[in-house]
Structure 1
Amino acid sequence: MLQKLKKFVHRSLDYIIHPVLRRHAIYQPPDAAAQLQLMLTYQNLVRENKPLPPLRDTGFRVYSECDEDGILLYIFSLIGWTNKRCVEVCAGDGIQCNTTNLILHHGFNGLLIDGDSELVNRGRKFFMRHPNTAVFPPPFVHAWITRRNINELISNHGFSGEIDLLSLDMDGMDYWILSELNVIQPRVIVLEYLEIIGPERAITVPYSDDFWGFAKYTTNGMMDYAGASLLAFTKLLAGRGYRLVGCNRFNYNAFFVKEELARDVLPGAKVSDCFSHPKAQWGMAERFPKVKNLPWVDV
C-alpha cells in the first residue's frame, strides 16, 4: 500500500512539474477525478514542506475563459473551502465562467446573475440538463445589476455572510458594484481588470446605471473604456482585508484572498507582476492612448 501511495504522489508531481504536461493540460482539461488527484498532490507538497508550483503555472481551463479554473483549484487546495458557496456576477450563459467547474465537479452551490435574458435561459437549460446539477440546478437570475440592487439581488436568493468565492466580470461598473457589495464576505475573489491602463494608475470609469462597454471604444472586439485598473481594485480590497495573489495567463483576471488565509504557502503578489504578458504590454502601448483622455475617476 505504501508503495502504491508513493507511485501516486510521484505521478502527480510529474503532472505539476513537467512543462509538456502542463501545456497539455491547458488544452486537455482534467476531469473531476484528475482534479481531486491534483488537489491531493498540492496538499501533500504542503504537508511534506516541499516547493509548490508558482500560481501562474497552475492554470487550466474547463469552463473558464482562460486558465482560471486551474488557478482557483490551486488556491482552494491551499486554503481549503468552507461552505462551498459561490456567486458569479455577470455569468453570461454559465457555460464559460469561473464558478461552473466548482459547481459541476466539486459540489459547490452557486448563484449566477446576468443581464442578458437569452444567455440566462441558455444557462438554465445547461444546468438543468447536466447530470451533476439536474437534480438541483443553481439559481440563474436575470437582472440588470446596479449599485442599488446588488446586495438585495444576492440576499433575496439566499446568499449572505461568508462564502468561498465571488467572481466579478461586468465589463463596466465592476469597481462601483464591488465597492457597494457588503451582503457577502467571500474568502476568494476573482475579478476582471482593464490591463491596458497599466500598473501605476488607480482609476475607473464613472458610474452609470446603463453603462455598456461595447457601445463605442473597442479594439478588435475588446473594450478599451470600461471597468477599472488593477491598482484601483487592489487598494479597495486591501482596505477590506484582502491581498492580491496573482493573475491569469493573459493578465486581465486577478485573484484576491483574505489576508489571514495561507500566507505561508500563498504569498502576495505585486500589482506590477500582472502586466508581463505581450497582450498586456501591447494594450498599454496601443490601446490605452486612444482612451486616456476620456473621463476617468481617480480612486
Structure 2
Amino acid sequence: MFFSALKSFTGRLRSIEDRNKKIQEALGRIETRQLQDLPVRDIQGAEFRTYSQWGEDGILQHLLRHIAVSRKVFVEFGVENYTESNTRFLLTNHNWAGLVIDGSAKHVDYIKSDDIYWRFNLKAENSFITKDNINSLIRRNGIEGPIGLLSVDLDGNDYWVWEAIDVVTPSVVVLEYNSRFGPERSVTVPYDPSFVRTTAHPSNIYYGASLTALCSLSKRKGYSFVGCNTAGNNAFFVRSELKPPNLRELIPMEGFVRSQFRESRDPDGTIVALSDSEELAIIDQLPLVEVS
C-alpha cells in the first residue's frame, strides 16, 4: 500500500514538473517575440530567464536573431545536471543539437534519465575537462568545424581551456569571468589540470580569469566582445566576420559589469559579506598569471 501511494505521488510530482517546464518555455517564447524591435546593441535589455541562471537565455535569443549560424549546434560545459543552463532553451525551443560535459557522473546520469535525452539530439559526456582533452572530448562526440554556440563555465581553467579549443569555430561564445579582478587587469589563475574552485582556496573567490584577459584572448581567436550580463559574471563574444554592423565591439572598460552576488565563504564554508577591497586583498595574496 505504501509503495503504491509513493509511486502515485511520484507520478503526480513528475506531471507537475513537466507542466511547469511547458509554462517556462511558453513564457520564454513570448519574451523572445517581444525582443523583435529591440536594437541589436542592447543585449542587457534582452535579458530573460527560462533555463539560464541569469538573463543569458534572452541575450542569446537576441544575438542569434541577428547573427548567421550555419549549424544549429552547441557545446556547453560546467552544466551540472542541466536543469539550469545557457543552451537548454535552444535545445527545447529551437531544436538545436548539442553536447554538454560535466565532471560529475551523478549529474550526467541525471541528464541521461531526463526526457530531453530522447526527445532531442543531445549528448552528455562525463569528464573532468583539461586543456589537453577538450578537443578530443568534443571531436569524439561527432562535433567539429563551425557551430552556433560555445558556453564555457569551469570556475577555474576557463582561459586556458578556451585558448586550447580549435576543433570547433562557434558563431557566439559565452565565457564566465571573475569580476573581482576588475576591468583593467589582464590576469588568470595559473593552469592546473586538477583545479577545483572549492578546494583551491577556502574563500571560494579564487578562480577563472579577468574580463580583459578573456577579451584579449578572444580577439586573437577572431572574436569581438559585445557586452556582459547585468549579473556581472558572463561575457558575450561574436565571431568578428559575423558581427552585424550595428552591434558595436566594446573594450573591456565599456562593457565591464561588477558582480553583486555573494560567493565569499569563511573557512567553515559559510557565506560572508566581504567588501570589494577585502576580496581583492585575499586574491592579491594568491598566484596569478599576467596574460596579454
Q: Tell me the residue number matched to 2:30.
A: 34
The worse-fitting range, judged by mean Cα deviation, of 262-271 and 91-100 is 262-271
Q: 1:31 is matched by which residue type in structure 2?
A: L
Q: For the Cα contact (< 8 Å) 1:29–1:60, is it kept in 2?
A: no
1:228 equivalent in alignment to 2:186: no
Q: Tell me the residue number matched to 2:81.
A: 93
- The normalised TM-score by structure 2 is 0.81
Please, which of 139, 148, 153 is the counterpart of residue 137 of structure 2?
153
Task: For 2:145 and 2:68, locate their aligned partners in 1 and report how far apart those are by CA, in whole Å.
Answer: 17
Q: For the Cα contact (< 8 Å) 1:190–1:254, is it kept in 2?
A: yes
1:288 equivalent in alignment to 2:272: no
How far does residue 273 in structure 1 lie from its aligned partner after superposition?
3.1
1:257 equivalent in alignment to 2:249: no
Q: For the Cα contact (< 8 Å) 1:199–1:275, is it kept in 2?
A: yes
User: Could you say what secondary structure the match of 2:260 adopts?
Assistant: helix
CA RMSD after TM alignment:
2.2
Task: For 2:199 and 2:259, locate their aligned partners in 1 and report how far apart those are by CA, in whole Å.
Answer: 26
User: Could you say what secondary structure the match of 1:211 adopts?
Assistant: coil
CA 1:155 to 1:288, structure 2 compared with 1: closer, same or farther past 3 Å?
same
User: Could you say what secondary structure the match of 1:185 adopts?
Assistant: strand
Structure 2: which 5+ runs fail to align? 1-23, 263-273
Task: For 1:81 and 1:183, locate their aligned partners in 2 and report how far apart those are by CA, in whole Å.
Answer: 17
Q: For the Cα contact (< 8 Å) 2:179–2:258, is it kept in 1?
A: no
How far does residue 119 in structure 1 lie from its aligned partner after superposition?
1.1
User: Could you say what secondary structure the match of 1:265 adopts?
Assistant: coil
Q: For the Cα contact (< 8 Å) 2:41–2:246, is it kept in 1?
A: no
Any residues of structure 2 matched to 1:109-148 within 5 Å, and which? 109-126=97-114, 129-130=115-116, 134-148=118-132
Identity %: 35
How far does residue 32 in structure 1 lie from its aligned partner after superposition?
5.4
1:56 equivalent in alignment to 2:44: yes
Please, which of 158, 162, 167 is the counterpart of residue 174 of structure 1?
158
Q: For the Cα contact (< 8 Å) 2:135–2:167, is it kept in 1?
A: yes
Q: For the Cα contact (< 8 Å) 1:89–1:168, is it kept in 2?
A: yes
CA 1:31 to 1:215, structure 2 compared with 1: closer, same or farther past 3 Å?
same
Q: For the Cα contact (< 8 Å) 2:97–2:120, is it kept in 1?
A: no
User: Could you say what secondary structure the match of 1:167 adopts?
Assistant: strand
Task: For 2:279 and 2:46, locate their aligned partners in 1 and report how far apart those are by CA, in whole Å.
Answer: 29
CA 1:234 to 1:276, structure 2 compared with 1: closer, same or farther past 3 Å?
closer
Task: For 2:103 and 2:91, locate their aligned partners in 1 and report how far apart those are by CA, in whole Å.
Answer: 21
How far does residue 29 in structure 1 lie from its aligned partner after superposition?
7.1
Encode CA deviations 1:132-177: one digit per residue, 9 max, x unaligned.
x533441100011111111000000000000010000001111111
Task: For 1:88 and 1:125, locate their aligned partners in 2 and report how far apart those are by CA, in whole Å.
Answer: 18
How far does residue 35 in structure 1 lie from its aligned partner after superposition?
5.0
Task: For 1:186 and 1:143, locate their aligned partners in 2 and report how far apart those are by CA, in whole Å.
Answer: 21
Q: Tell me the residue number matched to 2:19.
A: none
Task: For 1:97 and 1:65, locate their aligned partners in 2 and report how far apart those are by CA, in whole Å.
Answer: 7
Q: Tell me the residue number matched to 2:181.
A: 197
Q: Tell me the residue number matched to 1:24.
A: none
1:273 equivalent in alignment to 2:254: yes
Encode CA deviations 1:51-76: one digit per residue, 9 max, x unaligned.
55711111011111100000000000
Q: Tell me the residue number matched to 1:4.
A: none
